[in-house]
Amino acid sequence: MIKRPHFFLLAFGLILAGCGAPPTQDASMTPATPSPAGEVLLFDDFSDGQLDRSVWNVEGPDFWVNFEQQIYVDSSATIQFLDGVAGAEHGVLALKGVYSPGYEAPGGRIADFISGRIDSQNKFDFTYGRAEARIKLPDAEGMWPAFWLLGNGRWPDTGEIDIMEYVGETDWTGVALHGPGYSGETPLVDKFFFPEGEDVTDWHTYAVEWTDQAILFFVDDRLTYRATRPMVEHYGEWRFDNPKYLILNTALGGAYPFKTSRIESPYAGLPGSTVDMIRNGDVAMLVDWVRVTAP
């Protein structure tokens, strides 16, 4: 049982503070053919009650990064579709953390939690435009959900855009860029603090607008951070002229929550109060819809 990873986290230097690297793949640096301005390239409101497998893949149990405390599984326990959720007109995708003590992955890793992660790799990607999702999150310290874009190649060489990350402090969410020379503890990172009366437990639309010269982040159409090409090139090569695919995931604990809270017990970055919430079925990222629009 892995419950006290202090030594391992320090050994890795907490370098993977963002959403994290995928397994190595063949690089793909070819820009996509431009689409008409304003064209909706993808829209999914999860109203069919099942995952559209022509668009989405489900991550499996052998995938593990950032000392996260869950195992990803393709299951109706971790990937659910809910009706009648307040504030959502149609069905809602729930990527849920589930208490499953002693769960063993095929590779032999054992964890006490399972969860859900989906991506559109090899099914949908795009170069430039606006990607956005309407998301609602619980008050759960150490939960680590994210909405992000990743290039089709070796990480971080083909770039990563983190549109929304949350580690359980309800008054803020984070954004970041990762690439060669600015990965892991990236200098291109920002926190958006909600105004009084708002927090992550409300529905919010998290978005990025991506061009060949700048990447702009929004919460409910409020510009929260802008990273320009010259800013990026101060640290390394601009790797945002290539296609990127979508990822939505709910991680539990791991490097970024641990870095934020320094909680070691009962799990890295994950306090007992959140473990109790997971046991009760109360920890999930809810996604009303996802949309990608051409610039």
Residue 249: the pLDDT is 98
pLDDT in tens, 69-96: 999 999 999 999 999 999 999 999 999 9
Residue whose structure tokens are 């995928």 = 22
Instruction: Please answer whether residues 142 and 269 qualify as being in contact, where contact means their C-beta atoms are separated by less than 8 angstroms.
Output: yes
Residue 15: is its pLDDT beyond 60? no
Q: What is the pTM for the complete model shown? A: 0.90
Name the amino acid, one letter, at 99: Y
* β-bridge pairing 70-72 and 110-115: parallel
Q: How many CB atoms lie within 10 A of CB 149?
A: 25
pLDDT in tens, 138-196: 999 999 999 999 999 999 999 999 999 999 999 999 999 999 999 998 999 999 999 99
Grade residue 37 by pLDDT with cuts at 50, 70 and 90: confident
Q: Parse the chain into domains and list their residue ranges.
A: 40-293
Residue 9: is its pLDDT beyond 50? no
Instruction: Please answer whether residues 152 and 125 qualify as being in contact, where contact means their C-beta atoms are separated by less than 8 angstroms.
Output: yes
Q: Copy the structure tokens of residue 160.
A: 């990563």
Q: Which CATH number fits domain 40-293: 3.40.50.150, 2.60.120.200, 2.40.50.140, 3.50.50.60?
A: 2.60.120.200
